[in-house]
Every structure is written in C-alpha cells, then in structure tokens.
C-alpha cells in the first residue's frame, strides 16, 4: 500500500537522495582510508551523511579535532574537483520540477561549493533555501540543519517532510520532530516513516498551499 503524507514544506538531503555521488565518495574516502591504515570498506560504512570531520573523529577518536578540520578542508577540495560519475538519483529531475514554486529547502552535510558542484554536475536546480555545512554548528545526526531549514521556510517542524538516505540524516529528522521518507537502498534499514526505492516512486501534488506526497 502506498504511504500518503501531507506537508507544507519539504526538506531534502542531497547526496544519495537527489544526487548519486557514491562513486566520488568511494574514490576519495578509500584513498583517505589507505593513507590512515584503515579498511576502506569500514570507512565507507561510516561516511555517508556526515560532515567529513565528523567521520574522521568517529574513525580516529584520539586524533586532535584541529587535524580533522584541516584534513577535511583538503578532502572537500578533492571531492569538489572530482565530479566523474555524479548523476541524479532516478526520478530526481521530475521530483524537483514538481516542487517548483512550492516551499522546499536543501539540507546537506556538504559545504556550499560542493553542493553547487554536485547539483550542477547532476543537472539539478538548486532550491532557493540551502542549509549547508557552513551554516550549522552541529552536523547530522543533530537536528539543527533541519530545524534551520524549516524556520527559514517559515514552517513548524511537524509541517515538514524530510527526504533522506543516510542513517544519521534519518536520525536528525526524527530528532527534529519531523516525518521522513527514506530514499534508496541504504535507507530502508533505518526505520524511516516510509521508504522509496528511488524518487521514481514518489509523486507530489500541490493544492491550497498543501503538498500531498505519495510514496510507493
């Protein structure tokens, strides 16, 4: 049975939700793992949805955070320059087209330049409201980004519906008091309010300032 939600605004993660950037993430973070003497597969299980310095802190807990921030700046530049294989998630162009003129925001752990680069490489329009890594004090799974996105759009948390693919993002949405649609193969395991294999399984209709979202 399809799941049907009504909302006043949608809050959208980027990587894994709108943009398939797995190829870049795997290349960059696998190289980083090898440099640190870590198992790349173990690193890739942790990295999705987090800010880079938070991933480093999780994997190397005894390392000074200043080193993580410095290394993350290098990593961000590397990821921003590497756009090979960055494509839209199936259904993303039509999904975003359906949101044109309706309240929605991008809430991503990526920095502004990385978000611009990846959305551009995928040929996707940028939402007018964007909450990127530079704009929060605490990244996902902290709810700050989603709460900030809702506030900037002018809606209460319970009026918003989140789209996410990663465990930390789904946890952040829940902590913000929001319903969340899990997108893609990773998301189903993390207990979202509903799950879509891709955005091809999501239909958005708008009437009277209310968005009706059908999943499945």
Active site residues per annotation: 13, 15
Extract long-range pairs of 57-61: CB within 8 Å, 24+ residues apart.
60/36
The number of C-alpha atoms within 13 Å of 30 and in the hemisphere containing its C-beta is 7
**Contact present, 164 and 180 (Cβ < 8 Å):** yes
Give the C-alpha distances (Å, rounded to integers) separating 162 from 43, 169, 172: 26, 9, 10
Number of other residues whose CB lies within 10 A of the CB of residue 85: 14
Whether the link from the prior residue into 90 is cis, omega within 30° of 0, is no
- DSSP-derived pairing of the beta strands 104-107 and 129-131: parallel
CB proximity list for 150: less than 8 A, separation 6 or greater: 9, 11, 105, 156, 157, 159, 160, 176, 178
**Contact present, 91 and 200 (Cβ < 8 Å):** yes
Dig out the tokens for 23 from the structure. Answer: 């190829």
Coil/strand/helix, residue 164: strand
């Amino acid at each position: 049975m399809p799941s049907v939600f009504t909302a006043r605004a949608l809050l959208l993660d980027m990587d894994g939700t709108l943009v398939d950037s797995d190829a870049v993430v795997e290349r960059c973070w696998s190289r980083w793992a090898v440099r640190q003497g870590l198992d790349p597969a173990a690193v890739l299980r942790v990295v999705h949805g987090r800010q880079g310095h938070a991933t480093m802190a999780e994997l190397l807990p005894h390392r000074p955070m200043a080193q993580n921030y410095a290394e993350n700046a290098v990593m961000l530049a590397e990821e921003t320059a590497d756009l090979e294989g960055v494509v839209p998630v199936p259904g993303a162009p039509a999904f975003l087209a359906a949101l044109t003129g309706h309240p929605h925001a991008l809430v991503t752990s990526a920095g502004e330049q990385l978000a611009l680069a990846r959305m551009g490489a995928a040929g996707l329009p940028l939402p007018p409201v964007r909450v990127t890594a530079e704009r929060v004090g605490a990244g996902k799974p902290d709810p700050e980004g989603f709460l900030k996105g809702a506030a900037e759009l002018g809606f209460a948390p319970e009026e918003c519906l989140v789209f996410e693919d990663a465990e930390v993002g789904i946890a952040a949405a829940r902590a913000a008091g929001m319903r969340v649609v899990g997108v893609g193969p990773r998301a189903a395991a993390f207990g979202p309010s509903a799950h879509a294999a891709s955005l091809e399984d999501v239909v958005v209709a708008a009437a009277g300032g209310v968005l009706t979202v059908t999943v499945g």
